Structure 1
Amino acid sequence: MNASVEQVRSALAELIKAALISNDSRSLACREAARGRLAPLAADPPDPSSLRMDGAWTLAIRDAETPELAPQEGQVNLTLPRACPFTLAEILAPGFDVDAAVDHIRKIASTG
């Protein structure tokens, strides 16, 4: 797998974890990790034709929903959409708001 594809997947997974985790300090750590993964991508963006955002999103959900994290995931009863809610251009844009992205993920998840 292309390294930049892996970085996008990893950044999306951190955003999802931040939305899932109810503990504020853990969620904050995931937000910081997402910022740290997005910065080098923004500096050297991947070729959009080499990346399927929906595929990266699906893999990121799988990465984020690990059994080890389940006890910490109390924010919402999450059913995430199959399609990535962000474009590559959006997540790499200067001033991309990680906190707003996490809130958006929480809102688009259907709550049971």
Structure 2
Amino acid sequence: MHFKSKLWLVNDKNIKFFGEGPMLLLKKTDELGSLSKAAGEMNMSYSKAFHLIKNAEKELSVSLLIGQAGGKSGGGSYITEEAKELIKKYDQFIRRSDQAIEAIYHDIFL
């Protein structure tokens, strides 16, 4: 037996706007230099990926991606410094939360 948890950031209406999916999308975009490529690797439509990022940007009041129009060398998307900071903080939040939940799980079930 083991536990599993999922954590999200939610707005004042209790609607989730940032979690593991958007975080992975930002990480993949940073790695691949393209939101479209990141969405493709995650088996997600570009429109869904775009909506997830735009919704998070709206809720956080920061830009997470910078798009670059195509041309001879093609376009792309790059994550902002705010996105890098959000990824860092969210990773830390998940890691520390998992440690706390694991300790509680052991206290109660083991």
Give the TM interval when normalised to the shorter protein. under 0.3
Q: TM-score normalized by structure 1? A: 0.26
More strand by share: 2
For the pair shown, the structure with the greater C-alpha radius of gyration is 2
Q: Structure with the greater relative contact order (CA < 8 A, sep ≥ 6): 1 or 2?
A: 1
Q: TM-score normalized by structure 2? A: 0.27
More helix by share: 1
